[in-house]
Amino acid sequence: MSQTIVTPPLGTVLRRRFARMWQEPETRSTLIGLAAVILFHLLLWGGAPHLMKFDAIPLAPRPADRTRDFSIELSPEIMARAQQPKPADPFKFVETNPEAPENMPDKTNNFAAQNQQVAQPVATPDGKSDRPAMEGKKDFESNQIVSGRLSQPAEVSPPVAPPVEVPPAEKTVAPPRAEQNPLSGTEKFEGENKDGIGGSLAKRLDNARAVPERVEGVPDAKQIDGATSMQPAIDPRRPMPRPQLVKTVQARPAILAENKFGTTNIGNIAVDARWSNYGQYLQKMIETVQIQWERIIISQKANPVNGSRVTVKFIMDDQGRIERIVAVDTTANEVATAACVSGISDPAPYGPWTDDMKAVLGSHQEMTFTFYYQ
């Protein structure tokens, strides 16, 4: 018979050998030490990069040193408004001096119907104001620097007037008669020639002329031969105005505000202002209201109390029409108050706005006019 020896698997051989070694006490201690060394080197290899760092580790603050803070999250709309630049101060309308020269100011918040740089006849030391120094009413705000007169309002005749014989506007008036003295003489002279002319010698009199006899008249009157002069007749109801020594400024009557701080610029009184379409439009509108207001006062014979005031707030659209009267604040009587409101509404519309005016003002704008009775 034959015998066959079968070799067991490697795993079985290793398990049997490990079991015999584990049963021996000395061999088991060696195996435990070897496993511990291998495990230590594995842990050292994996944790060495983290253990060898030299960065400073911040210490946690003590509870007593901690501050109370919090964060705020703003909405996108608020953030967008916060990032926008601060808008410039709104421009202020002023009325310039029409007799001052055109001059572009360096920097100003005022706008008007013409470019003008602040000036005054006498300089103010270290003056840096955008308005000239002037005497006026204290504790009073005014957008005017000069007072004058626009066109004279047309006077309205009373409904019933007594018949008055009015001479014609012009009539032919003969010049005054000039004094004339005939030539006279006492000294006789004759020439040698018998056919010549003889005469008398004498001192020539004043206003002596070759006239047959003396004519009474004005000694210093000018003699205009063959001519007459035209002199205007005088209407007793409308006497001729006296000549004015002081030139009137072509500007609205104004109540000037006192200003002690002026400028170092010397020249015709002026204010810092920059031209704009809105300023030119507003100036023309204000002058129209001024003239209409004065005409209504004369026609209605309003007798307001001196010092009374009427403030009218209204809305104007981009076509120059008065949409509505918002409010009226008055200390005057009813007739004087109605004259102010009519002075604004009667001349309307004032004309369409320009494109740049619409871009700034929109389709309508609220305005406030204040009338003073002095």
The band of 220, judged by pLDDT with boundaries at 50, 70 and 90, is low
In a domain, 194, yes or no: no
Is there a single domain that holds both residue 343 and residue 357?
yes
Instruction: Return all residues near 117 (Cβ < 8 A) that are at least 6 apart.
Output: 103, 104, 105, 106, 265, 270, 272
**pLDDT for residue 188:** 59
Is there a single domain that holds both residue 96 and residue 135?
yes
pLDDT digits (tens, 9 = 90+) for 137-154: 888 888 898 988 886 544
357: number of Cβ within 10 Å? 18
- Would you say residue 331 has pLDDT above 90? yes
Q: What's the pTM value of the predicted model, to 2 decimals?
A: 0.54
- Would you say residue 17 has pLDDT above 90? no
Q: Can you read off the two tokens belonging to residue 240?
A: 């001729």
- Would you say residue 109 has pLDDT above 70? yes
Is there a single domain that holds both residue 254 and residue 309?
no
C-alpha to C-alpha distance for 40 and 49, rounded to whole angstroms: 15
Burial status of residue 353 (CB atoms within 10 A of its CB: 0-12, 13-18, 19 or more) = buried
Is there a single domain that holds both residue 147 and residue 281?
no
In a domain, 200, yes or no: no
Is there a single domain that holds both residue 255 and residue 326?
no
Strand partners, 128: 263
pLDDT digits (tens, 9 = 90+) for 61-107: 554 444 445 545 555 665 565 566 554 544 788 999 998 989 888 88
How many structural domains are present in the chain?
2
In a domain, 336, yes or no: yes
**Range with the poorest average pLDDT among 97-111, 186-200, 259-273, 337-351:** 186-200
User: Given the DSSP bridges, would you call strands 322-330 and 187-189 parallel, antiparallel or unpaired?
Assistant: unpaired
| Residue-number span of the structural domain to which 108 is assigned | 90-152+248-275
- Would you say residue 4 has pLDDT above 50? no
In a domain, 254, yes or no: yes
Is there a single domain that holds both residue 280 and residue 363?
yes
Instruction: Return all residues near 75 (Cβ < 8 A) that are at least 6 apart.
Output: none
The last residue of one of the domains, among 275, 294, 315, is 275
Is there a single domain that holds both residue 268 and residue 293?
no
Of 225 and 209, the structure prediction assigns the larger pLDDT to: 209
In a domain, 138, yes or no: yes
pLDDT digits (tens, 9 = 90+) for 169-206: 555 556 667 777 666 655 555 666 666 666 665 666 66
Is there a single domain that holds both residue 334 and residue 361?
yes
The last residue of one of the domains, among 234, 257, 275, is 275
Is there a single domain that holds both residue 345 and residue 293?
yes
Q: Give mean pLDDT, residues 6-11.
A: 64
Q: Can you read off the two tokens belonging to residue 66?
A: 């901690």
Is there a single domain that holds both residue 320 and residue 267?
no
In a domain, 76, yes or no: no
In a domain, 102, yes or no: yes
Q: What is the CATH number of the domain that holds 317?
A: 3.30.1150
In a domain, 237, yes or no: no
Q: Which residue has the tokens 């842990």?
A: 43
Is there a single domain that holds both residue 146 and residue 281?
no
The last residue of one of the domains, among 233, 258, 275, is 275
Angle, alpha carbons 338-343-345 (nearest 5°)? 95
Is there a single domain that holds both residue 269 and residue 359?
no
